[in-house]
Amino acid sequence: MTIRAVVTGGSGFVGSHLCERLVYEGWNVVCFDSLITGDTANLAGLEGHERFHFERCDVADGLSAHGAVDWILHLASPASPVDYLAHPIETLRAGADGTMRALRLAREKSAAFLLASTSEVYGDPAVHPQPESYWGNVNPVGPRSVYDEAKRYAEALTMAFHRTYGIAVKIPRIFNTYGPRLRREDGRAVPTFIWEALRGEPLTIYGDGSQTRSFCHVDDLVEGLWRILNSDLTGPVNLGNPEELTILELAELVRELVGGPSEVRFVERMPDDPTVRRPDITLIRSATGWEPKVPLRDGLIRTIEWARKTWLAG
Ligand code: NAD
Ligand code: UDP
């Protein structure tokens, strides 16, 4: 029988790639998205498909679905720091009210539930790399808390529904992901550096660029989500590429790959910006055999090629 899934936030960067994969796998997908940071253009490849349906809706205000549902995949939330700092209350509501509504729907439909969580639950980590057993170091009242604490609450709520009602739950903690469909102005490092380099402008580095991140290509990420959906895993599982580099190294790599005259310029760093980040992927590797396949350099080359075609034309 065809598996039927509700995907919240399916018009965004990760969600649109995931919807495509689920439809490709033969699933029936209903996507709910408020379009606060998403774009229906991301779903152009699924338009008119008989196993795909889009509905505009803010899941913090309401979420219902006709008929049987096997899976609720809850991705709805602004995810870029620039986006969530511009929409602090909406971000808290997506994580709190949105997750509550999504879990209630899962309970009503006897569906399994996946929460798209984040490496931000580790905050500015005192343990490096980060295993799932690390509880994190989050400033509960800093500007980033609107995202970090919303996701931490969403994780707690998900586990409470699991323990109380026996709902099957998966909680991928997604680390920095990049690839086609990132918005050029969404403020995240990869699209910003590419967009600046393509225009020959200086690449803007927050602080001295010594902070580290580990970037995963979206194709690897979606494969990881697919493996998690098909696994016996319950609860948090790191999903990311452990290939770690400094932000200055990332900027220099993007500049090299784009070519052109860009320099780097240093501006003040945002408060509570994590100093290091790298996933320990022992759990997902042992449970599902997943590991990332796309090296950063190759993934960036592909993303830059897409950006040239899409952003410079549009
Ligand atoms: P995105 O901003 O591109 O996508 C988020 C989508 O959710 C958008 O389409 C937006 O319109 C929608 N949305 C937000 N609030 C909503 C609401 N209340 N109701 C309905 N729709 C709503 O971001 P993304 O990078 O695709 O992130 C998707 C998910 O993955 C998020 O939950 C994010 O926290 C998580 N995540 C992403 C990354 C990453 O590097 N991309 C890292 C960690 C976690
Ligand atoms: N960053 C930067 N310049 C930018 C955007 C981001 O130097 O134009 C830095 C940011 O301070 C952070 C890292 O790059 O240390 C990754 O930022 P991003 O917004 O991509 O993701 P985050 O990991 O902060 O959610």
* Protein residue closest via CA to atom 1 of ligand 1: 12
- 166 alpha carbon to ligand 2 midpoint, in Å? 38
303 and 264 part of one domain: yes
The dihedral region occupied by 23, where left means phi > 0, alpha psi between -120 and 50, and beta the remainder, is: alpha
* Structural domain boundaries enclosing 76: 4-176+216-239
24 and 118 part of one domain: yes
- Domain assignment present for 288: no
* Protein residue closest via CA to atom 12 of ligand 1: 9
This prediction's pTM: 0.98
Averaged pLDDT in 10-residue chunks for the chain of 314 residues: 96 98 98 98 97 98 97 98 97 98 98 98 98 98 98 98 98 98 96 97 98 98 98 97 98 96 94 97 98 98 97 82
130 and 78 part of one domain: yes
- Domain assignment present for 283: no
- Domain assignment present for 285: no
45 and 151 part of one domain: yes
Q: What is the pLDDT of residue 314?
A: 61
Identify the CA nearest to 280 among candidates 222, 238, 227, 246: 238
Identify the CA nearest to 128 among candidates 66, 200, 212: 212
260 and 148 part of one domain: no
54 and 107 part of one domain: yes
105 and 248 part of one domain: no
* Protein residue closest via CA to atom 15 of ligand 1: 77
- Domain assignment present for 210: yes
Rg (CA), the chain: 19
121 and 202 part of one domain: no
CATH of the domain at 9: 3.40.50.720
136 and 202 part of one domain: no
158 and 268 part of one domain: no
Q: What is the pLDDT of residue 28?
A: 98
Quote the number of domains for the chain: 2
Q: Which residues line ligand 1 (CB under 6 A)?
A: 8-9, 11-15, 32-38, 58-60, 75-79, 83, 94, 98, 116, 118, 174, 176-177
- Domain assignment present for 284: no
Instruction: Mark whether 24 is an active-site residue.
Output: no
